[in-house]
Structure 1
Amino acid sequence: MSNTIIAIKCENICKKYRLQKHRTFKEFIPALIGRQETTIQFNALNHINIEIKKGESLGILGRNGSGKSTLLKIIAGVTKPSDGRITVHGRIAPLIELGAGFHPELTGRENVFLNGSILGIKKKQMELLYDEIVAFAELEEFMDQPIKYYSSGMYTRLAFSVAVAETPDILLVDEILAVGDVKFQKKCLNRMEQFRKSGSTMVMVSHGAEQLEKYCDKGLLLANGNQLFYGDIKEATKRYSELL
């Protein structure tokens, strides 16, 4: 019965941005006095329609600039669609911009609690999870140091560990496993597999077809903001390879 519950539904999702036009000096004067349009419209996403059931995993494929990250941010609630409707049921763990809420002057410990509050986890619960977070990140000796002294790998490990401290209903992953050492990447993938087996819904962006086929049921192929294919993950990766 749980498989009939819709976790994420996108109905005709569009995202438009206004960008500054590149002008020659001859075009600059009319624009300066307001006689010429100074911006152009960029369509990042055009009429995206997907429906992901609870417990399903979706892999999003496409070249750089195809709209993959924009769609993840809309699902996460980081940005709103220009048109269309997005419906999400469940608590989201967005592994999109890891550590976006971290403050460089604060210690690792302070940032754990800060980021936990941003993710909607109560302080008492974070206190219970703290030791597990630190152990997973393997940063026991560095938690009282300001994170401005952390390497990029340490920063990523701590941010990921906070984000996955609690089992989410929906896990959003945007190429974050491209960062960090091989050992930690394996730990991340194992944790994601645990979530998947426990019934979490997962949406994953990656250029690695093999990785997506291993963890995902469905695939969404995007090109220039357009939905080229939505269906079986193996068919999606096949069509993606034909675009390259």
Structure 2
Amino acid sequence: MTDPQVAADQAVIEVEHLGIEFYRSRRRRLSLREMVLKGRNTSPTETFWALDDITFDVGPGEAVGLVGSNGGGKSTLLKVIAGVLIPDSGQASVNGGVAPLIELTGGFLGELSARENVYLTAGLHGLSKEDVDARFDDIVAFAGPQVKAGLDMPFRHFSSGMQVRLGFSLITTLDEPIILVDEVLAVGDAAFREQCYGRMESLLAQGRTLFLVSHSEKDLQRFCTRGLYLRSGKLVGDGAMDEILKDYRADNAATP
């Protein structure tokens, strides 16, 4: 069940001194044979802070764009807000349900059919089978005829475009007040992107909160009034979207 509506003066997302620490290289468990021969795991243990002392609030109905170069921490921040990652320092409090589309597959399971994934994911967001039954035709119609034709095949056989179509259609059909979108719309064709843009505008008109990661300045300016600028894991800008994009462009122009 979707969380109760948040009061107009209460932040829906509160991030305080947030930090996420990662290992620079992948670590693995040693097999029994390796432990006998080597005695210990000799994998490098050097770490870095993917997010470092991040603090900001987001109010109900805000449309916020995350700006920054690849590796700056944008996707990591969205995963923390979505509850996928647990902070190593600080905290992120979310006062309301979250509908995340933060990876290409939408979190769907590859071995399940598209139909099964729709019911499973919607159920995890509190919708009953009867609720999903009532919305199912609309979800499939938005996703398009190719998705409809493949509803009962394993999701892993879908093309990347079909995966995005189904993921976006389902996530934006949920009743959650907070929508997280991470670059995935770049995969779809132009006609479907326009269809998605119309859906996003409708959600914003309903008072939903949007968190959008995109390298498209056009998209950020179209949907977002506020921007957050992440650089090397640090929040270096928080202000009007146009001003944040201006700062980002200036930094890129100054970089050799």
What TM-score, normalized by structure 2, do the two folds share? Answer: 0.84
Secondary structure at 1:39 match in 2: coil
Deviation at 1:98, TM superposition (A): 4.1
* 2:97 is the counterpart of 1:97: no
Secondary structure at 2:46 match in 1: strand
**Which consecutive residues of structure 2, in runs of 5 or more, have no partner in the other structure?**
1-5, 28-37
Secondary structure at 1:162 match in 2: helix
Counterpart selection for 1:47 from 53, 58, 70: 53
CA deviations over 1:21-74 (Å, ceiling 9, x no partner):
99xxxxxxxxx6669893112110111111111011111100000000010001
* 2:54 is the counterpart of 1:56: no
Deviation at 1:208, TM superposition (A): 1.4
What is the match of residue 112 of structure 1?
118
Q: Structure 1's 5 and 105: CA in aligned 2 closer, same or farther, altered over 3 A?
A: same
Distance 1:60 1:177 in 2: 15
Q: Which amino acid aligns with 2:73?
A: G
Deviation at 1:18, TM superposition (A): 2.7
Secondary structure at 2:246 match in 1: helix
Secondary structure at 2:96 match in 1: coil
Secondary structure at 1:168 match in 2: coil
**Preserved contact between residue 65 and residue 213 of structure 2 (Cα < 8 Å):** yes
* 2:224 is the counterpart of 1:216: yes
Q: Which amino acid aligns with 1:168?
A: E
**Which consecutive residues of structure 1, in runs of 5 or more, have no partner in the other structure?**
23-31
**Preserved contact between residue 125 and residue 174 of structure 2 (Cα < 8 Å):** no
What is the match of residue 78 of structure 1?
84
Distance 2:154 2:163 in 1: 11
**Preserved contact between residue 101 and residue 118 of structure 1 (Cα < 8 Å):** no
Counterpart selection for 2:14 from 9, 15, 24: 9
What is the match of residue 205 of structure 2?
197
**Preserved contact between residue 65 and residue 228 of structure 2 (Cα < 8 Å):** yes
Secondary structure at 1:51 match in 2: strand
Distance 2:40 2:163 in 1: 46
CA deviations over 1:112-150 (Å, ceiling 9, x no partner):
112222333322211111111011111333323333432
**Preserved contact between residue 105 and residue 146 of structure 1 (Cα < 8 Å):** yes
**Preserved contact between residue 66 and residue 224 of structure 1 (Cα < 8 Å):** yes
Q: Structure 1's 35 and 69: CA in aligned 2 closer, same or farther, altered over 3 A?
A: closer
Q: Which has the higher strand share?
A: 1
How many pairs were matched up?
235
Distance 2:128 2:89 in 1: 34
Distance 2:181 2:158 in 1: 23
CA deviations over 1:193-241 (Å, ceiling 9, x no partner):
1111100011111111221122112111111101111111111000011
